[in-house]
């Protein structure tokens, strides 16, 4: 593998304190590189600016790939929702402007940067002008404080967010959890993964058109609900009848694991046009039932086909309680473990970026420090 700048800066040796921290590890691992030697305990500063949240997190990580243990010391998110709300979606140039404004404000709230072993920043996927603000800022502070800088994949961040501490959502023990099925559902992605381990996976399906979060946002707009629409549709659905309207379940019976959500969205549009006096809560509940049924059916079929021991749910839409409960119900029927991130870590945050960076340090995977809007997993 080509040595990127981040790897070089690791190999050149970090600050004095890092050397002290690594001594014990080196004693039992003769011949290990300074990079591996940091694995005993690593303090990470993570930065996320891929869309409309400017976020910083400080994490302490240890345990290695077998049993990674992550402690979130700080988790700061400056949301731009109010700025984008009048436009009904994220405006890239406004996002860039707000990130540039918020990055130094949040950074001031971070504890001792000298104390960090590594800085990590999202390099994709996302809006490139937004990603660049984080990368540029991270480069400046990495240079100023002489810290190694690592790029992180936002989708890996979502996937690994179940490793972060969870207070409200109780996750089962992580032993014997593979093979696993990963379901990443956000505003930009709907992906099914077959995972053989924490670091080895293959994509088995994804959406062919809209992501499920995008469908939620568009249906919300049709129902005249504010942006972001997912939580609003979920709220409205609570008072509606999920069986009132039989919206289609696209591709639910297809043999593959791909998804399609633009059809449900169009059906909602036509239904609203043809039934102007309908009850919006019934539309929200029926749409949600159709979308979630497809997600759960495909994830469970994949789990059966690959004899999965667990399902990992991740991404902004994983905040949806109806989806969580439906998956909980189906997985518990067959004794499959379900891992979900705590509610703080579903939508975009930097703690998950720290988690992904830690796993990639262990895996020795490096990303170039350039924005890649279409980066995949
Ligand atoms: P991105 O797609 O930029 O990575 P997130 O991972 O933060 O963003 O996901 C945001 C998406 O998640 C939006 O489409 C939003 O509507 C959706 N979402 C957030 N909360 C919920 C919820 N409770 N129910 C359904 N969708 C939700
Ligand atoms: Mg996201």
**Is 216's C-beta closer than 6 angstroms to any atom of ligand 1?**
yes
- Residue 291 CA, ligand 1 centroid: distance in Å: 14
Written as six digits, the tokens of 88 are 């009904």
- Residue 309 CA, ligand 2 centroid: distance in Å: 25
- Residue 141 CA, ligand 1 centroid: distance in Å: 30
Q: Which residue has the least CA distance to atom 2 on ligand 1? A: 187
Q: Are 292 and 318 in contact (CB under 8 A)?
A: no
Tens-of-pLDDT digits for all 377 residues of the chain?
Answer: 332 333 323 332 333 333 334 432 332 233 344 444 445 899 999 999 999 999 999 999 999 998 899 999 999 999 998 999 888 888 999 999 999 999 999 999 998 999 999 999 999 999 999 999 999 999 999 999 999 999 999 999 999 999 999 877 689 999 999 999 999 999 999 999 999 999 999 999 999 999 999 999 999 999 999 988 999 999 999 999 999 999 999 999 999 999 999 999 999 999 999 999 999 999 999 999 999 999 999 999 999 999 999 999 999 999 999 999 999 999 999 999 999 999 999 999 999 999 999 999 999 999 999 999 999 99
3-state secondary structure at position 146: coil
**Is 51's C-beta closer than 6 angstroms to any atom of ligand 1?**
yes
Sign (positive or negative) of CA dihedral 169, 170, 175, 176:
negative
Residues with CB under 5 A from ligand 2 (ion): 186, 348
Pick the CATH number of 5-164+348-363 from 3.40.309.10, 3.30.420.40, 3.30.565.10, 3.40.50.2000: 3.30.420.40
Q: Are 356 and 152 in contact (CB under 8 A)?
A: yes
Taking the domain 180-340, which CATH number applies?
Answer: 3.30.420.40
3-state secondary structure at position 122: strand
**Is 230's C-beta closer than 6 angstroms to any atom of ligand 1?**
yes
- 311: enclosing H helix or E strand: strand 310-314
For ligand 1, what atom is nearest to the CA of residue 220? Answer: 16
| Among candidate residues 128, 327, 148, 347, the one with its CA nearest the CA of residue 231 | 347
- Residue 374 CA, ligand 2 centroid: distance in Å: 13
Q: Which residues of 355-373 are buried (b: 16+ CB within 10 A; e: fewer)?
A: bbbbbbbbeebbbebebbb
Residue 308 CB neighbour total at 10 angstroms: 24
Q: Where in the chain is the domain with CATH 3.30.420.40?
A: 5-164+348-363, 180-340
CA 110 to the chain's CA centroid: 22
Query: What is the pLDDT, as a whole number, of residue 26?
Result: 33
Q: Which residue has the tokens 């690594």?
A: 22
């Amino acid at each position: 593998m080509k040595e990127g700048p981040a790897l070089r800066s690791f190999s050149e040796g970090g600050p004095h304190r890092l050397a002290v921290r690594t001594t014990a590890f080196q004693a039992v691992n003769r011949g290990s590189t300074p990079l591996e030697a940091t694995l005993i305990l690593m303090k990470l500063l993570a930065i996320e600016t891929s869309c409309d949240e400017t976020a910083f997190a400080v994490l302490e990580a240890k345990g290695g790939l077998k049993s990674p243990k992550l402690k979130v010391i700080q988790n700061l998110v400056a949301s731009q929702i109010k700025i984008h709300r009048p436009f009904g979606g994220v405006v890239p140039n406004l996002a860039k402007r707000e990130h540039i404004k918020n990055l130094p404000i949040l950074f001031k709230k971070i504890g001792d940067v000298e104390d960090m072993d590594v800085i990590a920043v999202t390099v994709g996927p996302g809006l490139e002008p937004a990603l660049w603000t984080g990368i540029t800022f991270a480069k400046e502070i990495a240079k100023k404080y002489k810290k190694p800088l690592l790029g992180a994949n936002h989708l890996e961040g979502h996937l690994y967010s179940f490793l972060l501490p969870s207070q409200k959502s109780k996750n089962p023990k992580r032993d014997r959890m593979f093979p696993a099925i990963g379901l990443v559902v956000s505003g930009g992605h709907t992906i099914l993964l077959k995972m053989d381990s924490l670091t080895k996976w293959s994509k088995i399906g994804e959406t062919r058109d809209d992501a499920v979060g995008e469908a939620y946002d568009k249906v919300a707009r049709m129902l005249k609900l504010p942006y972001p629409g997912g939580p609003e549709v979920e709220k409205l659905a609570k008072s509606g009848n999920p069986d009132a309207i039989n919206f289609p379940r696209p591709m639910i019976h297809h043999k593959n694991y791909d998804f399609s959500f633009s059809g449900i969205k169009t059906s909602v549009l036509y239904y609203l046009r043809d039934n102007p006096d309908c009850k919006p809560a019934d539309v929200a509940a029926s749409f949600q039932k159709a979308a979630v049924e497809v997600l759960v059916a495909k994830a469970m079929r994949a789990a059966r086909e690959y004899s999965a021991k667990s399902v990992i749910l991740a991404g902004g839409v994983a905040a949806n309680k109806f989806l969580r409960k439906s998956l909980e119900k189906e997985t518990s029927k067959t004794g499959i473990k379900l891992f979900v991130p705590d509610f703080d870590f579903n939508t975009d945050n930097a703690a998950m970026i720290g988690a992904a960076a830690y796993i990639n340090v262990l895996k020795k995977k490096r990303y170039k420090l350039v924005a890649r809007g279409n980066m995949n997993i």
